[in-house]
Amino acid sequence: MLTIGYRLPVNQYVRITKNVLNMGRHEELELIGFGTQGMAKLTQVVNVLSTWGYIQVVRIKTKADPSLKIVVKKGADFQKNFDEFAAELLKRREEREQLKAEKKAAQEAAAEAAKEESTLAVADGEAKAEPAATEEKPEADSEAKADADESKA
């Protein structure tokens, strides 16, 4: 028995129902929805699962205290559909991971290029600073010559 409420989205109830049926422990599964929202969500879940060929509806029962009980069993092509969808999900996941890896590599390459540009800019700044330093060397040399001349005298 699986109670369908209003807290989770329809796709999660669909996934839960498929996984419970895939375990193979139950030939039939009772899905119950309480209240107007639970009943509406239950009908959506059953509609999705039956449209895609996962289930067949066995019984439908309603009660005065607004509740709905739908008994379902695996469809004829349940395992084939389940396996195909699992393979499709795996393929989509791999594509997403590949795109993430490509995006990360592009970001790292851009960061490396930016780092290289900043290194070149710093190197250009040092290269411009070197001629000023070489200009100071003649002064230092002239001071050294003056000191040498004083020592001779």
60 with 105, same domain: the answer is: no
pLDDT in tens, 7-21: 999 999 999 999 999
In the chain, % of residues over pLDDT 70: 80
31 within domain boundaries: yes
What is the SS3 assignment for 51-82? HCCCEEEEEEEEECCCEEEEEEEECCCHHHHH
Domain boundary among 41, 76, 111: 76
| Token pair of 96 as six digits | 């997403």
User: Which pLDDT score is estimated for 115?
Assistant: 83
Task: Report the number of distinct structural domains present in the chain.
Answer: 2
pLDDT in tens, 45-87: 999 999 999 999 999 999 988 999 999 999 999 999 999 999 9
CATH of the domain at 49: 3.30.110.20
List the domain range (segments joined by +) for residue 84. 78-147
12 within domain boundaries: yes
44 with 101, same domain: the answer is: no
pTM of the model: 0.65
